[in-house]
């Protein structure tokens, strides 16, 4: 999953607008997966 997101980010330069993040890509994926697991009705 992380590899696919890295490829997407390298192909789409518009994704880099705005303020940067302090989390690595791996940490962002982990946070999203934990969120989806805990909020089952989402």
Instruction: Please write the tens of the pLDDT for every residue from 17-34.
Output: 778 889 999 999 999 999
Mean pLDDT of the chain: 84
Tell me the whole-structure pTM to 2 decimals. Answer: 0.67
pLDDT given for residue 15 in this prediction = 61
Q: Does the pLDDT at position 7 exceed 80?
A: yes
Residue 3 structural domain: 1-7+20-42
Give pLDDT, residue 26: 94
Query: What confidence category does residue 41 fall into, taking pLDDT thresholds of 50, 70 and 90?
Result: low
Query: Does residue 40 belong to any structural domain of this protein?
Result: yes
pLDDT at residue 35 greater than cutoff 80? yes
Torsion region of 18: left, alpha or beta (phi above 0 gives left; psi -120 to 50 gives alpha): left
> Domain tally for the chain?
1
Domain contains 13: no
CA angle 30-34-26, nearest 5°?
5
Establish if 14 belongs to a structural domain: no
* 38 within a domain of the structure (yes/no): yes
């Amino acid at each position: 999953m992380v590899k696919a997101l890295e490829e997407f980010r390298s192909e789409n330069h518009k994704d880099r607008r705005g303020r940067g993040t302090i989390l690595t890509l791996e940490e962002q994926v982990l946070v999203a997966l934990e969120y989806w697991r805990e909020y089952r009705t989402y």
